[in-house]
Structure formats: C-alpha cells, structure tokens
Structure 1
Amino acid sequence: MSIRNAVHPVFREARATVLPNPADRHGPLPPLMLALTVVTGLVDSFSYLVLGHVFVANMTGNVVFAGFAIAGAAGFSLAASLAALAAFGVGALLGGRIARRARAHRGRVLHLTLVVETVLFLAAYVLARYGAPLDDTATRYQLIGLLGLAMGIQNATARALAVPDLTTTVLTLTITGMASDSRAAGGSGGRTGRRALAVLAMFGGALVGAFAVRHGSPALPLLLATVLLAGSALDAFALTRSDARWTAPL
C-alpha cells in the first residue's frame, strides 16, 4: 500500500470528526467533544504549573502523585492530590445525575454540562485573577475544588455520551488504539484520524496553556477555557431542539 493510500483515510476520518455527517449516529457531537479535550489541556496546564504538582482533570496522575507524596518526594502534596480526587468524584456524581436527568436527549445532556462547566470555570477565573494571591493556601484549594468539580462533570458526561475515542480527559487507551489497531499491527487502522485529533487537541490546549502561564497571566488559561466553553454552550443550544437519530441515548 502506498503512503498516499495509507494517509488518505486518516485525513478523511479527521475531516469527518471536525465536520461530521448529520446522519451519523453521533451527529454533531464529535467537534464539541474535541473542544472539551482542548479545555482539558488548558486546565491541567494551569493546575500543574500554577497550583503545584496537581491535576484537576487527569486523576491517574493524582493517584501517582499521592504515592509520591506519601513516599516523601519533594514538591508533591498529598492533601492537594486528595482534594482534587474528592472534587472530581463529586463532579462525576453530579455529572451522572445530569446525564440521567436529560438522558432521553444527548444534546441536552451536553448543553447542560457545558453551561454548568462555563459557570464553574468563570468563577475559577475570577478567583484566580481578582482573588487572593495564587500561592495563598485557601485560594489554591478553592481553585482545585472548582476545577476538579467541573472536570468530574465533564468526564461523566463524556462517558454517558460515549462518542468513540473522544473521552476528553484520558488518552492512554486512545494512543493504545492508534498503535494496536494500526495496519502495522495487523488491524484495520480504523479511527486513526479521530484518535490523532484527540491527541493533538489535548496537546494544543496544554501548549497554549503553558505559553499563557509563562508569557501572559497565570489565570489566562482559565479565561481561554471559559470562552471556549461558553462558545460551545451556545453552539450546543441549537442541538437541544433537534430530534435527529443521534439525540437518542445509546
């Protein structure tokens, strides 16, 4: 198989993710899930670089960091890791309730989640930008709580919507799928384009967030994420009135 023949399906899948067919089972959801993946990169760049060695979206990292902290490794806080895990868990519980409340319509599930996330991120931005200094302990934990809550809701919603390879917060299985399902591994090579976009979306969010922290304002990643969430919420509002096949729960 030529390189051109191998690459073409990847670009076709990527294009179908960004500009999905309305008749597809997941309809217009994929590009919105990509936007949420960018938010993950932005918010974890803020939490790790500004709040210390803690994630508010990547809970696997916090479990590992908790182990480091217990072992006495420098720069890691057991309390911060546990606070993030607790906030994320509460958010996931709330996200599950949101999904079940609007479970008859996937568009409404996503829209409600986006509205709640936008409010939480806006509150976090205002606190980070205009509140006490970011090295203040109370401010740090308030931000961990707000952002962990938001990301727990997002993760629960992504799980409920179940758009393939767009979990928005976890890439381990996505990267595994790219390799294990590739033609080189004897697989079909399916969904490589979508998986690559998910990786690039989180990488791009993290890159922009890190540049914003280092060369702009520490709170700037939160502002960017808030704007992206607000725009996605407005876009998703139109989806709440659709009765297409993709709106039905899986």
Structure 2
Amino acid sequence: MSVVLREARATLVPDMTGPQGPLPPLLLALTVLTGLVDAFSFLVLGRVFVANMTGNVVFTGFALAGAPGFPLLASCLAFGSFAVGALAGGTVVHLARAHRGRQLQRALLLETAFVTAAMVLVLVSRAPYTGGVRLALIALLALGLGVQNAAVRALAVPDLTTTVLTRTLTGAVADSRLARGPGGKAGRRGLSAVSLLAGACCGALAVRTGHPALPLLLAFLLLTAASTVACLLVRSDAPWTKPASGP
C-alpha cells in the first residue's frame, strides 16, 4: 500500500526536474475533463461519445444491426469530427515538437476554443438539444477531444492517456507482483481511472441536478486553468520539455 501511495503522490506532486515534469497532474485534469464531456454527450445528446471512440464504433455496429436508440449519424459525425480534431492537433504539436510545454499550450488553446464554442451554443439554445444544434455540439466537442488526444499521444506520458483506460487497467493487473510482473504502477494507473470516474460522476450529477450546460462549464474552467499553466510552462527549459522519444 505504501508503494501505491508513493506512486500516487509522485503523480499528483511530480518532480519538476524529472523526465515528465509537471505533465502528470495536468493530464489527470484532462482525464477529469474527458469524463465531464462524455457524460454530457451521452446523457444530453443521446447515446454518443465525443471522446471514447471505441464506444462509438460499438454504437455504430449496434445501429447498423438495427438496435433501437443508437443514432448512426451521431456516432459517425463524432468519429469523423474526432479524426479531424486529431489531424489539427497532430499538426499543432508537430510544429512545436522541439518543446513539450509549447505542444501542450497550443493544443490546449485550440481545444479550449472548440469547447468554448460548444458551451456558448448550449447557453444560447434551449434544451432538449435536437437537430442542427445537437449535431453542432457533437462536432465541436469531438473536434476538441481529438485535439486533446493527439497532444497526449505526442507528450507520451506513460499510463496517462486521458481517454482510454483498457490498457491502463490491464497493465495495472498484468504487470502486478501478483502476476509475477515488475509492478503494476497501481498508484498512477489507479489515479487515471479515478479521474475519469470522477469526471463522469460529476458530469452526470450536474446534468441530473443542474443546468445541462454545467458539465461544459466545468470542462471550460478546467481547460482555462490548464491552458494558463501551459502558457507559463513554455518558458521552461527543464529536461521534461525535450521531445518525447515516442508515444
């Protein structure tokens, strides 16, 4: 247990001179954001994810098989918009490849623009969000999360993908001492899972008890804080700012 706690503390309060510097807590914040926006999209926009593309592929299969309640257009739009966002995010981070802090800053500013546009659209529209408003919200949020995932891939911080937890949870168990492995890094990997769970739970509670726009407002505040920190980090020349060796 002490090892798990040390790993969790090292993730939340990282060594600023280490190879990942301040990136781990920032990526945990983005993991919370993922839970918030997917809670909004699934509960408010109707059985569609804007961050979890694995879910959308499954939903598309359900829709093609004629299962009721799984809109084919929404899943396809989310998938396509996410891909365009990943393309934009990949372009941004590759242009700034010499400095990881600059990669994060530019990607977060672009993602913030998409999420802000979605939040404004929600605030000026009336629930339930249907028709063109619904499709526009799906597209904007999927674009933003595509940018985020491209940036996270470029930053290549181990075990902190902000979206996909299947490999993270598999690693925590398969690499554990119980499985005769080197150690499952349960502290860091567990924090990633808890962060996504917390974001999804808060988003769902916000939808159920408050205004439908509340999850997006919380996501916007998280992005604003993360972007502010990222803008400060571009001045750093610490070792963690050097390009990552690979995803």
Which TM-score tier does this pair reach, normalised by the shorter chain?
over 0.9
- Write the distance in 2 (CA, Å) between the matches of 1:230 and 1:134: 27
Aligned partners of 1:77 and 1:190: how far apart in 2? 38
Match of 1:4 in 2: none
What is the root-mean-square deviation in Å for CA atoms of aligned residues? 0.9
* Secondary structure of the corresponding residue to residue 160 of structure 2: coil
1:224 aligns with 2:218: yes
Q: How big is the shift at 1:113?
A: 1.2
Residue 52 in 1 paired to residue 46 in 2? yes
- The answer to whether the 8 Å contact 1:127/1:139 transfers is yes
Q: Is the 8 A contact 2:174 2:184 kept in 1?
A: no
With 220-229 and 126-135 compared, the bigger mean Cα shift is at 126-135
Residue 21 of structure 2 is matched in structure 1 by: 27
Deviations 1:49-107 (A, max 9, x none): 00001000000000000000011111101110000000000000001101111110000
Matched, 1:174 2:168: yes
1:23 partner SS: coil
Structure 2 runs not aligned, ≥5 long: none
| SS of alignment partner, residue 243 of structure 1 | coil
Task: Name the structure 1 match of 2:209.
Answer: 215
Q: Which residue of 1 aligns with 2:91?
A: 97
Residue aligning to 2:2: 8
The letter of the residue matching 1:233 is S
Q: Deviations for 1:98-121, whole angstroms, at most 9, x for unmatched residues?
A: 111111000011011111111211
State the partner residue of 1:183.
Answer: 177
Report the AA paired with residue 148 of structure 1.
A
- Taking the aligned partners of 2:31 and 2:161, their CA distance within structure 1 comes to 8
Q: 1:192 aligns with which of 186, 189, 197?
A: 186
- Structure 1: how far apart are the matches of 2:192 and 2:129? 32
Residue pair 1:124, 1:147 contacting (<8 A) in 2 also: yes
Q: Give percent identity, aligned residues only.
A: 58
Decide which moves more: 107-116 or 143-152.
107-116
Q: Which moved more, 1:189-198 or 1:27-36?
A: 189-198
**Unmatched runs of 5 consecutive residues or more in structure 1:** 1-6
- Could you report, residue by residue, the CA deviation over 1:188-244 in whole angstroms, capped at 9, with x for unpaired residues? 224210000000000000000000000001111000000000011111111100011
Q: Report the TM-score when normalising by structure 2.
A: 0.97
Q: Of 114, 125, 128, which residue of structure 2 is paired with 1:120?
A: 114
Amino acid at match of 1:156: A
CA distance in 2, matches of 1:121, 1:197: 24
Which AA in structure 2 matches 1:157? A
For 1:96 and 1:132, locate their aligned partners in 2 and report how far apart those are by CA, in whole Å: 34
Counterparts of 1:95 and 1:120, CA distance in 2: 12
Aligned partner of 1:64 in structure 2 is: 58
Instruction: Give the distance between the partners of 2:54 and 2:226, measured in 1 at CA.
Output: 27
Name the residue aligned to 2:105.
111
User: Post-superposition, which runs of at least 4 consecutive aligned residues in structure 1 deviate over 6 A?
Assistant: none
